[in-house]
Amino acid sequence: MTWAVSSVLATTSTPITTAATASRQPSSTNIHRRKCPLNPHILYHIFTHRQSPLTPADLASCALVSREWASVATPVLWRCPTWTLAHMGALETALLAGGEHNNGGNADGNAAAARARGLVEGVKSLRLEVSFSGAGWANFDNEEVVWAQFMRDMDVMNGVLGLFGCRLQPLEQLTISLQLHTGQATSSPSQHIAFQTHLDTLFGHLRTIVNPGKLALAYNMSAADVLGKRVLSLPTPLRALAIDGDWAAESDVVKALQDTATSVSELEMRRCAMSDELCAALVRSCGEMLQVLTVRSRTSVEARQRAMDILAGCKTLKMCTWVEA
């Protein structure tokens, strides 16, 4: 009986699976996966498909499928991260713990630093935001405490930008958002000097980590005065600019346009009274470069039509969008 079974197993063209050998044989799925792995280029196109983009959660799940999928999904996941200041502070701490700026660091710290450096190298596009609201805009008891936190946030942002300066490749796109609503603390000379120092450091980093042609800047009118000369000092023009007018005086918005928007190709204006004078100033300041204009402001139909007639003088303008806000 034993011989007969062995003879059948030896001569039959179709393998016979017994209960004892079933558990030892690989499944057809595993065989197919080993023989026909999905091409990494195909995976990349799937993960980056614009018409049906994957969410960060989807990409994180894809990275857990296999090592092959992780090698493709992880760079896509981290190329445009959404980082809060807390995340940036943790990143800087990990690098420091691993001896990025000193010769110390234990094994765990070195491993954390290696992971952090990997994240820094994988990022292609970055958006950083810092804001401060003084006593006239926020509800708190001690404005000095909030200003001190704002200074710490600026420290963290400059520290992270300094880390990106060590990359082999510059960032493909960088967006900096600076929103200030000044109060009593910002009027003191010492606070003013400290803020100017942080801005000098910030713009020093911007000259090294990204081509300013890929740099987008967003600010409100309280920050316009301190940013104007620094923006003009950049070696190449900004790519995009967003100005939050805070319903400021028309003359202030006109000056901000003259100081910072002379060479931008994309401009967004929020909460600005789009008067005839302001539209004419916009054409004078940006008429040679501006291609895309977005206005987010409460404007009457008649005022909007007049503004469109004036903006027609901007020969390079290809798209103008108005949003009631």
CA distance 185 to 182: 8
- The structure tokens listed for 177 are 């958002």
Distances (CA, A) of 132 to 209, 245, 276: 25, 16, 32
CA angle 254/258/260 to nearest 5° reads 115
Question: What are 319's strand-pairing partners?
Answer: 292
Q: Where are the domains of the chain?
A: 40-78
In this prediction, residue 95 carries a pLDDT of: 63
Distances (CA, A) of 294 to 108, 230, 277: 48, 24, 18
In this prediction, residue 57 carries a pLDDT of: 85
In this prediction, residue 293 carries a pLDDT of: 92
Question: Would you write out the chain's pLDDT as a tens digit for each of its 325 residues?
Answer: 333 333 333 333 444 444 444 445 555 444 444 545 678 888 888 888 877 778 888 888 888 898 888 888 888 887 766 666 677 777 667 666 655 444 454 566 567 667 666 667 777 777 888 887 765 555 555 677 778 888 888 888 888 788 777 666 777 788 888 888 765 545 577 777 888 898 899 888 887 777 656 788 888 887 887 887 788 777 777 888 899 887 788 888 888 888 888 778 899 999 888 889 899 988 888 878 889 999 998 888 888 889 999 988 888 899 999 888 7
3-state helix, strand, coil in the chain (%, to 5): 55, 15, 35
List strand residue ranges (DSSP E) for the chain, in order. 125-133, 173-181, 215-220, 240-244, 266-270, 292-296, 319-323
Q: What are the backbone dihedrals phi and psi of residue 174, each rounded to the nearest 5 degrees, phi first?
A: -140, 130
Residue 209's contacts (CB-CB under 8 Å, 6 or more residues apart) are: 161, 164, 165, 167, 170, 171, 174
